[in-house]
Structure 1
Amino acid sequence: MWKAARHERACAAERSAMRGGGLRDENARRNAPRNARRNARRMAEIKSAQI
């Protein structure tokens, strides 16, 4: 079940990236310090799940 949830999040991220790339990039630049730790932890979880 957690695999499906992770897949759904990935699809939503891809759709939002295709729809509004510029706006998201601007938000990412403004929020970079706050988001960096959360993103790093999520990427570590995904990588450990793939192994």
Structure 2
Amino acid sequence: MGQNHIVDAFLVVVTGGVGELVGNVMAGLGLGVINKVIEPPSGRGSGPR
């Protein structure tokens, strides 16, 4: 429980750069957009079920 959020948060920090606020915001927005684009065709949500 919560492991998906940990993986997403780690991915955002690594992609955006540790300590880089603008980079983390951009990486978070990018990850969110990618998740929403991929979610409908795959039929899977990242939320709890």
Bigger relative contact order (CA 8 A; separation at least 6): 2
Would you call these one fold, judging by a TM-score over 0.5?
no
Larger Rg: 1
- If the length of structure 2 is used for normalisation, what is the TM-score? 0.42
